Amino acid sequence: MSFNSVESLLDASRDLPLWRAVLEHDCQEEGIPPEQSLSRMDALWQAMKSAVADYDPARHSASGLVGGAAARVESSPHPIVGGFVTQVIAAAMKTGECNACMRRIVAAPTAGASGVLPGVLLPYQSQYHTSDQEMVHALYAAAGFGQVIAARASISGAEGGCQAEVGSASGMAAAALVSLHGGTPEQMAHACAMALKNLLGLVCDPVAGLVEVPCVKRNVAGAMNALACAEMALAGVESAIPCDEVIDAMRSVGALLPDSLRETGRGGLAATPTALRAAQRLRGGAL
Residue 195 in contact with other proteins, rule: CB under 8 A = no
CA distance 96 to 222: 12
- Binding part of the chain for other proteins, among 193-201, 202-210, 238-246, 249-257 by CB under 8 A, reads 202-210
Cα 199 to Cα 189: distance, rounded to the nearest angstrom = 16
Is 173 a binder of ligand SF4 (CB under 6 A)? no
Closest CA to 148 of 101, 115, 193, 95: 193
Give the span between the Cα atoms of 55 and 160, in whole angstroms: 30
Q: Which does 139 bind (CB under 5 to 8 A by kind): ligand SF4, other proteins, none?
A: other proteins
Nearest-CA neighbor of 259 among 268, 249, 250, 251?
268
CA distances from 141 to 24, 106, 158, 171, 178 (A): 12, 17, 25, 11, 9
Q: How many CA atoms are closer than 13 Å to the CA of 250, on its beta-carbon side? A: 39
Rounded to whole angstroms, how far apart are CA atoms 48 and 115?
Answer: 9
Residue numbers 98-157 binding other proteins by CB under 8 A: 98-112, 114, 139-140, 142-144, 146-147, 150-151, 155-156
The interface mask with ligand SF4, positions 66-105, x = CB under 6 A, is ----------------------------------------
200 to 239, contacts with ligand SF4 by CB under 6 A?
204-206, 211, 214-215, 218
Q: Is 254 in the site for ligand SF4 (CB under 6 A)?
A: no
State which of residues 6, 18, 21, 22 lies at the interface with other proteins (CB under 8 A): 22
Question: Residue numbers of the site for other proteins (CB under 8 A)?
Answer: 2, 22, 26, 29-30, 37, 40-41, 43-44, 47, 61-63, 98-112, 114, 139-140, 142-144, 146-147, 150-151, 155-156, 158, 172, 208-212, 264-265, 282, 285-287
